[in-house]
Amino acid sequence: MTTYFTAEYTCAVCGRTHKFRVVGSTNSFGSPDLDLRPAPMQRDTIHTWVQTCPDCGYSNGKIDRDTSVDKKWLSRESYRNCEGTAFISGLAKKFYQAYMVNLHDGKTERAADHLVYCAWACDDAHDIQNAVKVRGMAADLYEEVLKTDDSEATKLMRMDLLRRSGRFEQLQSEYETVTFSDELHDKIAAFQKKLAKAHDTDCYCVGDVLTQTE
Ligand SMILES: [Zn+2]
Compute the distance from residue 15 Cα to the ligand 1 centre, in Å. Answer: 6
Tell me what percent of the residues of the chain surpass a pLDDT of 70.
99
Q: Which amino acid is present at 122?
A: C
Query: Within its chain, how far is the Cα of 175 from the centroid?
Result: 21
Q: pLDDT, tens digit, for every residue of 14-66?
A: 999 999 999 999 999 899 999 999 999 999 999 999 999 999 999 999 999 99
Residues 6+ apart with CB under 8 A from 81: none
**The pLDDT of residue 15:** 98
SS3 212: helix
Q: Give backbone dihedrals phi and psi of 141, rounded to 5 degrees, phi first.
A: -70, -40
Compute the distance from residue 66 Cα to the ligand 1 centre, in Å. Answer: 12
Could you tell me the pTM of the whole model?
A: 0.95
**The pLDDT of residue 214:** 60
**The pLDDT of residue 76:** 98
Compute the distance from residue 63 Cα to the ligand 1 centre, in Å. Answer: 7
Q: Is the dihedral of CA 209, 210, 212, 213 positive or negative?
A: positive
Dihedral in degrees, nearest 10, Cα atoms 129, 132, 134, 135: 170
Q: Is the dihedral of CA 209, 206, 98, 147 positive or negative?
A: negative
**The pLDDT of residue 1:** 87
